[in-house]
Structure 1
Amino acid sequence: MRLRRLFVTSNGHFCIGPSKTQVGDIVSVIVGCNLPIVIRPSGSCFKVVGEAYVHNYMAGEVLKDHPIGTSRWVDISLS
């Protein structure tokens, strides 16, 4: 797994993501993407760090825990 890192989110989800992943990065499910994305706050926008594997969230399971329209879904700008 060159250039990959195992990490655990603050909610306890086991993930594999880019080796550049840092504390404070956010694992996000972006509508239309096939994989969760690690993003990093950058001013009023976010920078894409890379794609991630999130255990139990790879086949739409995130929608069971966080249905569309709840406060967990927000619009963001990527840079």
Structure 2
Amino acid sequence: MAATLNTLHADGRIVFSFPEEALPHSEQVSFVAFVKAEWAARQSRFTQQDAERLANEVDASWWSKNKQRILSQIAAA
């Protein structure tokens, strides 16, 4: 089934629409989640440097919390 993603520009808003039957419900949910995540990312004041710093902190924290468990699993293998 060929479906079209329509956009309506009205009252300072953009509205997307497509037929519900064009996508299974799970894909509709994924599409909306993607758009919301993209919107949030574009509204963020995080710089690329801030994001990289946070990613490094999360990586370091994860490793310090999981190091012993991971190494013990490797040793047991």
| Band of TM-score, shorter chain | under 0.3
Bigger-Rg structure (1/2): 2
The TM-score, its normalising length taken from structure 1, stands at: 0.24
Between the two structures, name the one with larger relative contact order (CA 8 Å, sep ≥ 6). 1
